[in-house]
Each structure stands twice: as C-alpha cells, then as structure tokens.
Amino acid sequence: MELIGIAALFAGLALLAALPLVVLLALVEIASQRRVHRHQ
C-alpha cells in the first residue's frame, strides 16, 4: 500500500511539473499560428 501511495505522489508531482511546460508549448504554438496568419 505504501508503494502505491508513493507512486501516486510521484505521479502528482510529475503532473504538476509538466503543467507549466504544456502551457508554454500551447502558447508557443498559438504564437506561431498567429505569425503565419500575419504573413498571409
């Protein structure tokens, strides 16, 4: 049972660490799409 709790804790920390990266990637993709529309 302790291993499951530790695994869940690590999974939660990994998700929290990945969230800012996902947000940054989404912002970069939106910015790149806007640049393409501006060139057209």
**What are the distances in angstroms from CA 30 to CA 21, 23, 27?**
14, 11, 5
Predicted pLDDT of residue 5: 96
Name the pTM for this structure.
0.53
Q: Give tens-digit pLDDT for 1-40.
A: 799 999 999 999 999 999 999 999 999 999 999 887 766 6
